[in-house]
Amino acid sequence: MDVIDSAGEMRALVERRRRGGRRQVLVPTMGALHAGHIQLVREGLRHGDDLTVSIFVNPAQFAPGEDFARYPRVLDDDIHRLEEVGHDITVFAPTDREMYPGGMDTHVTWVTVEDLDRNLCGRHRPGHFRGVTTIVARLFNICRPHAAVFGLKDAQQFVILKRMVGDLNFGIDIVGFPTVREEDGLAFSSRNVFLDNEERAQAVVLSKAVRTAERLLMEGEQRPEALVESMRSALAEAPLARLQYAEVVDAETLQPIDRFQSGELVLAAVAAYLGETRLIDSVFVRVPPAIES
Ligand code: AMP
């Protein structure tokens, strides 16, 4: 397995491969790889000839006071997990110095997608999506993929990145992969390792909340606020969960919805703290045709 930490070396490698007519695929991650990441990697293998997994805990997407310092960094374990996939995968794992040579304070070039970060996580994590779009744009320029795979678990991130790629003509196919879950429904997350036993047991309420919202909508509920209320009630079942938001928004604009239109794709999403650990979950649902009463 090639493990590359230099942006120049990475770029030279993919340019050679591209000249050979080989289709390049990128799966960007922050490491601490779990079963969800591995499924993204397997999906990526279906979309091209060479697969690169980037591993970089990007300081620019953590707001002050968030968990940048304690975010798990386990590169050796990650490499091992990727070796187990059994394909020739390239790992691009740059250092902070490689990506931000002068440190974060001297970085002045940013990619911002306006308005789509007004709600959901964007409202609570100032600067987060600016950090994400900027690092992903850089990873695209370094790794030059034809396709890149992202998890729908980070639904707002997915919508924003797809918009960035369209608006700026990156010419990269953005593939979304459904959320991979543990047996009880909890979405895999690198942050789940921070949960103690009780928090872990109660964390299942996030997935219950979004599933309840999905069911209500499929059963013909017409009022977005009823879905929001159902998600709030589901979260309230867990004494250790502190709700940050429960929202239902248009899946493209990420703006709140007054009334559902049949055929419209909507996103129901929640974020909550279990102890110190912030978790998110969401579901995309297409509004069914109105049920005649
Ligand atoms: P992260 O390392 O958390 O930045 O995630 C890297 C990529 O994996 C992102 O595209 C995430 O959306 C995706 N991802 C993380 N957890 C899951 C999951 N449980 N199911 C599907 N994709 C995931």
The predicted-structure confidence for 203-243, as pLDDT tens digits, reads as follows 999 999 999 999 999 999 999 999 999 999 999 999 999 99
**Ligand 1, residues at Cβ distance < 6 Å:** 29-30, 36-37, 40, 150-151, 153-154, 177, 179-180, 187-190
How far is ligand 1, taken at its centre, from the CA of residue 182, in Å? 14
The predicted-structure confidence for 154-189, as pLDDT tens digits, reads as follows 999 999 999 999 999 999 999 999 999 999 999 999
Lowest mean pLDDT among 107-116, 228-237, 256-265, 284-293: 284-293
Position 217 scores a pLDDT of 96
The predicted-structure confidence for 98-126, as pLDDT tens digits, reads as follows 999 999 889 999 999 999 999 999 999 99
Ligand 1 pocket, mutate which of 61, 150, 152, 174 (most atoms under 8 A from CB): 150
The predicted-structure confidence for 1-44, as pLDDT tens digits, reads as follows 899 999 999 999 999 999 999 999 999 999 999 999 999 999 99
How far is ligand 1, taken at its centre, from the CA of residue 73, in Å? 15
Ligand 1 pocket, mutate which of 29, 135, 136 (most atoms under 8 A from CB): 29
Nearest alpha carbon, ligand 1 atom 13: 151
Position 141 scores a pLDDT of 98
pTM: 0.97
pLDDT > 90 fraction of the chain, expressed in percent and rounded: 96
Position 291 scores a pLDDT of 62
Mean pLDDT of 47-71: 96
Position 290 scores a pLDDT of 78
Q: In what helix (H) or strand (E) does residue 286 lie, and over which residues does it extend?
A: strand 277-286
Q: Which atom of ligand 1 is nearest to the CA of 33?
A: 2
pLDDT band at 277 (very low <50, low <70, confident <90, very high): very high
How far is ligand 1, taken at its centre, from the CA of residue 37, in Å? 6
Position 56 scores a pLDDT of 98
Q: Which residue has the tokens 């940050």?
A: 244
How far is ligand 1, taken at its centre, from the CA of residue 188, in Å? 8
How far is ligand 1, taken at its centre, from the CA of residue 29, in Å? 7
pLDDT band at 292 (very low <50, low <70, confident <90, very high): low
CA 289/CA 40 separation, integer angstroms: 32
Catalytic positions, please? 37
Is the per-residue pLDDT at 293 higher than 80? no
Is the per-residue pLDDT at 48 higher than 90? yes
Average pLDDT, the chain: 96
CA 117/CA 238 separation, integer angstroms: 28
Position 157 scores a pLDDT of 98
